[in-house]
Amino acid sequence: MNDLLLLLGVAFALDLLIGDPHSPLHPVALFGNYAAKVEAFARRRFGSTVRAGFLGWCLAALPPALFAAGSILLVRRGFGPHAAAVAAGVWLYMTIALRSLVQHAEAIRRPLAADDLVSARQALSMIVSRDTAGLDRSEIVRGGIESIAENLIDAVTSALFWAVAGY
């Protein structure tokens, strides 16, 4: 249990200190580019079918998961379970973005508190795909809450679930 807390502590400390660097070399950005190529390949091969989805999942999700798991096992063998928990925490950090979510929420909240709907709409447009130009105050709030909640699942909760389940 202590190693699980160490893993979570490392991941959240790195997220707090470094955040989600916006770089084309960030592992999540690299994975997104790779996954887009895998999807294009799978659709060319099988069209929009379940087989294409399964092939895409196998080619996109399994290699990085196996690479991360393998690297953690190597660290465990070479340096012990505490070092493996730190390594797992670094991998988990790369998959979470709590600090970024809080920053986006604050970027919407601050202008709303100052009754600056133009800036609040602009901040909301950074995290939603819908047109925000005509939204009133309650629609901005609702859009922000919905988007932050959805992204909380993608950017934090799901990664935590699988990290704890896999530990």
Statement to judge: residues 12 and 75 lie in one domain: yes
Read off the pLDDT band of 21 (50, 70, 90). confident
Q: What DSSP designation does 154 have?
A: I
Give percent of the chain above pLDDT 70: 99
| Burial class of residue 93 in the structure, from the number of CB atoms within 10 Å of its CB (0-12 exposed, 13-18 middle, 19+ buried) | buried
Statement to judge: residues 134 and 72 lie in one domain: no
Q: Which residue has the higher pLDDT, 109 or 25?
A: 109
Residue where one domain finishes, among candidates 63, 80, 96: 96
Residue where one domain finishes, among candidates 33, 66, 96: 96
Read off the pLDDT band of 27 (50, 70, 90). confident
Statement to judge: residues 70 and 104 lie in one domain: no
Statement to judge: residues 92 and 116 lie in one domain: no
Statement to judge: residues 76 and 86 lie in one domain: yes
Statement to judge: residues 105 and 83 lie in one domain: no
Statement to judge: residues 89 and 18 lie in one domain: yes
Give the pLDDT confidence score for residue 23 in this predicted structure: 81
> Span 100-125, mean pLDDT?
95
Closest CA to 26 of 128, 100, 94, 96: 94
pTM of the predicted model as reported, rounded to 2 decimal places: 0.83
Statement to judge: residues 118 and 41 lie in one domain: no
Instruction: Supply the range of the domain harboring residue 18.
Output: 1-96
Give how many domains the chain has, as a whole number: 2
Statement to judge: residues 25 and 42 lie in one domain: yes
Structure tokens at 3: 């190693």
Residue where one domain finishes, among candidates 71, 96, 121: 96
Statement to judge: residues 121 and 161 lie in one domain: yes
pLDDT(1) > 70: no
> Span 35-48, mean pLDDT?
92
Measure the CA–CA gap between 150 and 86, rounded to whole angstroms: 28
Statement to judge: residues 1 and 77 lie in one domain: yes
Tell me how many helices (H) and strands (E) the chain has. Answer: 9, 0
